[in-house]
Amino acid sequence: MPLNLEKICVEAGVKLTTPRKVILKILEESQDHPSVEELYKRASDVDSSISMATVYRTVSLLHEMDILIRHDFNESFSRYELNDEHHDHLIDIDSGEIVEFHNEKLEALKEKIAHDMGYDLMDHRLELYAKKRK
């Protein structure tokens, strides 16, 4: 079930402008973790009049709406991905490749740790930096 971002925006009362439609479509089709720069490139290929500022504003808006997750994989810029079903990330140190994974034991353990410390877990971030085994 591919999620319909335009529908979500309309229901949230967000105005559907031309640049936004282009960016939403790109996000729906993206299987990776693009930076704003990369999103801007992809958007420009569709409509060259779209500005960097609009990409930044749209991405911020979607992040606030909880539609996008912002990542900082120890780089000088942010990457974004759709807030689809939850997963964590393994970053291949050598190739830069980002591999998604999900582990139920890990999820349960994170909850338990926070709980045992007297907290309710609201969000978390787990990244494994690794090298492919030879």
Partner DNA sequence: TTATGTGCAAACCGTTTGCGAATCA
Partner DNA sequence: TGATTCGCAAACGGTTTGCACATAA
> Is residue 92 a contact residue for a copy of itself (CB under 8 A)?
yes
Residue type present at position 56? Y
Contact segment (CB under 8 A) with a copy of itself among 6-14, 34-42, 45-53, 95-103 equals: 95-103
Are 97 and 88 in contact by the 8 Å Cβ rule? The answer is no
User: Mind giving me the DSSP string for 23-60?
Assistant: HHHHHHH--S--BHHHHHHHHHHH-TT--HHHHHHHHH
Q: How many residues bind a copy of itself (CB under 8 A)?
A: 32
Contacts for 16 with CB less than 8 Å, ≥ 6 apart: 6, 9, 10
**What's the min distance (Å) between Cβ of 115 and a copy of itself?**
8
18 vs 103, beta carbon nearer DNA:
18
Binding-site ranges for DNA (CB under 7 A): 10, 14-20, 35-37, 49-54, 56-58, 60, 76-78
> Taking each helix axis from N to C terminus, what angle separates 18-29 and 52-64, rounded to the nearest 10 degrees?
70
**What's the min distance (Å) between Cβ of 114 and DNA?**
27
Query: Which residues of this protein are in contact with a copy of itself, per CB under 8 A?
Result: 72, 74, 90, 92-93, 99, 101, 103, 105-106, 109-110, 113-115, 117-133
